[in-house]
Amino acid sequence: VKEVARLIKEANKHNAVAKTIDGFEVELIRGSAKSRKRLLDLDGWELLTLHIDTILELPKRLARECGVPAEEISEGIKSESIQSCGVLEIWLKHFNNNVHHPVILVPGSAHYSWQKAAAIIGIGSAHVRKVPLDLWGRMDTTALGKMVEDCFQSRTPIMSIVAVCGTTEEGAVDPIDFVVQMRETYRRKGFDFWIHVDGAYGGYLTSMVRQDWEMPPVSSVEGPLISHAAYVPQDKTVVSQHVYQQLKAVRDVDSISVDPHKVRAILT
């Protein structure tokens, strides 16, 4: 998703997306100032740090405002994608003078499949940066804050921050709510990143919350552990205050992966 704006710009250069998008503008946020700029004039840094929602709405807006059908966009961007060009061509062509190589931030506890995936798709396992953990085995918020600020200052796009909901070894749940809040702060500076929750191990718990997410406020629940009818199986599922708050924050992230079979194996 982070790549879509760049892909559309490239596809337009090669006539794969109609010239009618010449005057098409997107919103840029820089501090308290909001401005509009032609999509075709955005540089590499701007393309990779656009607000996620701005990127997601591009196909619909292009269809509505420029009459470019969604199929034309998805066809047009295929030839510019990492899958067709390879990462090397993309970075040599577009980004080496303007921005640093993008990174993915994961907690020190992340499953080894993250490095594997980064290696396979060509981002490179060395660009998966590990955030140190706190004594609870969760992503350390101070360290994360510093790493994000370093990326911002050095013009290193963050493709995604991964927060784990149930680490493989410890079952620890990262501070998802903190990551969401931090993203809001950086969005106001014009620096956006995707948030993914790796709930392969513990994410299924999220789907066990009932009552359309109308969970009671944490302050109304006493004690360090919560057993509440909002969960199924009722009164048997107990989660900590921390987990409770993180499950609530999952609705504000961009994607989540869940392996329901893993929880089933534990429950039965």
Ligand X SMILES: Cc1ncc(COP(=O)(O)O)c(C=O)c1O
Q: Where does this chain bind ligand X (CB under 6 A)?
A: 111, 113, 164, 167-168, 198, 200-201, 259
Q: How many angstroms separate the CA atoms of 220 and 75, rounded?
A: 52
Closer CB to ligand X, 7 or 123, in the complex: 123
Cβ pair 162, 168 in contact under 8 A = no
Instruction: Give 144 or 164: the residue with its C-beta nearer to ligand X.
Output: 164
Q: Would you say 246 and 176 are in contact if contact means Cβ atoms under 8 Å apart?
A: yes
> Least distance in Å: CB of 209 to ligand X?
19
| CB 72 within 8 Å of CB 38 | no
**Least distance in Å: CB of 261 to ligand X?**
9
At closest approach, how far in Å is the CB of 164 from ligand X?
Answer: 5
CB of 89 to ligand X, least distance (A): 28
Q: How far is the CB of 160 from ligand X (least distance, A)?
A: 14
Q: Which CB sits closer to ligand X, 25 or 134?
A: 134
For residues 99 and 106, which CB has a smaller minimum distance to ligand X in the complex?
106
Based on CB atoms, which residue is closest to ligand X, 106 or 151? 106
Cβ density class 84-104: b for 16+ within 10 Å, e for less: ebeeeebbeebbeeebeebbb
